[in-house]
């Protein structure tokens, strides 16, 4: 077995199955169409709940883009499932991290670690 496999596999599994304990208290916020400057949303009771910032864009019938940004609970399975179904959706774990339109799904980072297995 290659040394890179022995090292990369546990790292990959750890990153893939870890639970996020984000301590986000503010996210950029918009609904339907986002324009600069973006509003800032204060997440409700961040000392009691774990939040992440969400940014998503999706097409609805007739070709219109809908953009949504804001605070979401880290363990909200419904939101996580819906985000995974969209091509342009990501969640991040630091204050005001959802401003850019650069959608970099975390699975890409994990996928690159698999390259070491080859």
pLDDT digits (tens, 9 = 90+) for 69-99: 999 999 999 999 999 988 789 999 999 999 8
Tell me which of 105 and 112 has the higher pLDDT.
Answer: 112
- Does 8 map to a domain? no
| Total count of residues recorded for the chain | 118
pLDDT attached to residue 103: 41
How remote is the C-alpha of 103 from its chain's centroid?
9
How many structural domains is the chain composed of?
Answer: 1
CATH of the domain at 65: 2.10.60.10
Which residues lie below 8 Å from residue 106, measured CB to CB, with a gap of 6+? Answer: 90
- Using the predicted structure, report yes or no on whether residue 19 has a pLDDT greater than 50: no
């Amino acid at each position: 077995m290659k040394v890179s496999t022995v090292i990369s596999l546990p790292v990959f599994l750890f990153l893939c199955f870890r639970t996020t304990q984000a301590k986000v208290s503010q996210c950029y916020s918009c609904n339907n169409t986002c324009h600069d400057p973006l509003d800032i949303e204060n997440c409700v009771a961040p000392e009691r709940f774990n939040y992440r910032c969400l940014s998503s864009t999706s097409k609805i019938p007739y070709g219109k883009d809908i953009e949504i940004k804001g605070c979401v609970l880290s363990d909200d399975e419904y939101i996580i499932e819906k985000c995974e179904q969209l091509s342009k959706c990501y969640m991040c774990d630091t204050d005001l991290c959802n401003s850019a339109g650069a959608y970099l799904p975390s699975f890409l980072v994990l996928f690159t670690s698999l390259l070491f297995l080859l």
